[in-house]
Amino acid sequence: MKPVKVGLLGLGTVGGGTFNVLRRNAEEIARRAGRGIEIVHAAAREYDPTRLPGIEGIQVSDDAFKVVDDPDIDIIVELIGGYSPAKELVLRAIENGKHVVTANKALIALHGNEIFKAAQDKGVMVAFEAAVGGGIPIIKAVREGLAANQIEWLAGIINGTGNFILTEMRDKGREFADVLAEAQALGYAEADPTFDVEGIDAAHKLTILASIAFGVPLQFDKTYTEGISNITRDDVAYAGELGYRIKHLGFSRRTPKGIELRVHPTLIPERRLIANVDGVMNAVLVKGDAVGPTLYYGAGAGSEPTASAVVADIVDVTRVLTADPENRVPHLAFQPDALSDTPILPMEAVETAYYLRLCAQDKPGVLSDVTRILAEREISIEAILQKEPAEGATRVPVIILTHRVTEGAMNEAIAAIEALQHIEDKVTRIRLEHLDAS
Ligand SMILES: NC(=O)C1=CN([C@@H]2O[C@H](COP(=O)(O)OP(=O)(O)OC[C@H]3O[C@@H](n4cnc5c(N)ncnc54)[C@H](O)[C@@H]3O)[C@@H](O)[C@H]2O)C=CC1
Ligand SMILES: N[C@@H](CC=O)C(=O)O
Ligand code: NA
């Protein structure tokens, strides 16, 4: 059988990795796919040929539309990133009857509903395993491996750059900006790294995971998103003293009132496996009603780990092309006409526990005012840590861990605490999840 012909858009971190992995493992991959897979045409604005041995034998255009319109090509692999022209390229590929593989979570989270509809109408596949959790086969695991379950909740460390930064700050006391620069040099970060540190990238990925887990359309605009740029080394140290790690977590849970969809820094008990996922590694914890808790772990970013997921999708598409084209796994796991309109819960209605750090003047009665404010709102306290004031200082940090309460009640309590005469600065609030999957 003739090899499947692939057009590769982008020859950067992931595009380069895809080119190299496909070449290096060609024989093994062909044995799995049932036929050869050949990149015949690529597009890039710029690329480094010294990192791509063999690229000289392939046509490389600077106009990606030339590849998408190339009649010889069966599968377009979009590894350019961003919204435009990625969206136009993907829609044109679909219109031309080509299957698409992409690692572009921003594109899928914001325009996936439209793209999948176009693909459905045209009878082609759009595969996006690399868009979530890099090399971890998490889309396949949730969509296919857990198909028997009602998913109850999922929690993930789904941004490699952010996790790398938090880990280096904690373990080596390094500065935020310095670690971010290293993540960029290693090819982990997005073209605009605020997507990583402000949680937008994780929110894209969570949006996709929640759709696949709960059978709802992609709703990025309803995802609560908070980044890690305000986390201080002090918070990391205080959390450690109390037995917790701070992780940037994406969390989604089905409740009777709606679906929680939120990304924010989160305290997690340090005995949990997921609290010990460090560096660029990602992990997703998924709780199904039948299977119970399951945990998926692997490199969340980087050239070849991400290429591993891209190539797996190319193999999947090749198998479908070669076998029964009607028998396909639906894009969002549930049949398109069976997606549910379960609402996404507003953040004020979401319940979590909290870590609060206050800066109090070292005066009698301050702490009792704070505990009264919490008690009036039925917010119970799990632990209090009052640090000694530094030599000659009149301000003391006070750390409070609370039990679960709604975000709305906590917002009111924080406003009342900040209004107290002897409380200085803003209260730092980090949500806390026990992630007890038993
Ligand atoms: N870097 C990583 O670890 C991961 C990246 N991704 C996603 O993969 C995609 C690609 O990311 P990277 O490889 O890191 O980006 P990159 O910046 O390293 O590479 C982008 C490539 O696209 C080319 N390009 C950009 N605009 C173009 C245009 N208009 N026409 C033709 N070529 C164009 C560039 O010349 C370059 O070769 C993004 O959607 C990103 O979010 C997903 C998972 C992990
Ligand atoms: N910038 C992303 C790349 C992978 O999705 C990350 O750091 O996780
Ligand atoms: Na993946």
Given this model, what pLDDT does residue 335 score?
A: 81
User: Could you tell me which residues are annotated as the binding site for NADPH?
Assistant: 105
pLDDT digits (tens, 9 = 90+) for 193-246: 999 999 999 999 999 999 999 999 999 999 999 999 989 888 999 999 999 999
pTM for this predicted structure = 0.93
| Ligand index nearest the alpha carbon of residue 297 | 3
* Average pLDDT rounded to a whole number, residues 289-307: 97
Secondary structure string (H, E, C) spanning 130-177: HHCCCCCCHHHHHHHHCCCCCEEEEEEECCHHHHHHHHHHHHHCCCHH
- Is the distance from the beta carbon of residue 302 to the nearest atom of ligand 1 less than 6 Å? yes
Centre of ligand 2 to C-alpha 113, Å, is: 22
Which of 11, 13, 48 for mutating ligand 1's site (highest number of atoms within 8 Å of CB)?
A: 13
Given this model, what pLDDT does residue 328 score?
A: 74
Q: Which residues surround ligand 3, an ion (CB under 5 A)?
A: 129, 133, 136, 138, 309
- Is the distance from the beta carbon of residue 188 to the nearest atom of ligand 2 less than 6 Å? yes
Helix or strand holding residue 297 (H, E): strand 292-299
ipTM over 0.95: yes
Distance CA 317, CA 81 (A): 21
For residues 147 and 192, membership in a common domain is answered with: yes
Burial, 356: exposed, middle or buried (Cβ in 10 Å; 0-12, 13-18, 19+)?
A: buried
* Average pLDDT rounded to a whole number, residues 358-374: 93
Given this model, what pLDDT does residue 181 score?
A: 97
- As for how many domains the chain has, the answer is 3
Counting from 1 in the atom list of ligand 2, the atom nearest the Cα of 189 is 1
The enclosing domain of 160 has a CATH number of 3.30.360.10
Residue 333 carries which side chain, given as an amino acid letter? A
* Residues 43 and 63: beta-carbon distance below 8 Å: yes
pLDDT exceeds 70 at position 35:
yes
For residues 271 and 314, membership in a common domain is answered with: no
Residue 367 belongs to what domain range?
A: 349-432
For residues 229 and 151, membership in a common domain is answered with: yes
Average pLDDT, the chain: 95
Closest to 73 (Cα-Cα) out of 7, 10, 2: 7
pLDDT digits (tens, 9 = 90+) for 101-157: 999 999 999 999 999 999 999 999 999 999 999 999 999 999 999 999 999 999 999
Counting from 1 in the atom list of ligand 2, the atom nearest the Cα of 202 is 8
Higher-scoring residue by pLDDT: 320, 351 = 351
pLDDT exceeds 70 at position 325:
no
- Is the distance from the beta carbon of residue 187 to the nearest atom of ligand 1 less than 6 Å? yes
Given this model, what pLDDT does residue 326 score?
A: 67
Phi, psi values for residue 217, rounded to 5°? -65, 165
Counting from 1 in the atom list of ligand 2, the atom nearest the Cα of 133 is 5
For residues 291 and 152, membership in a common domain is answered with: yes
For residues 148 and 187, membership in a common domain is answered with: yes
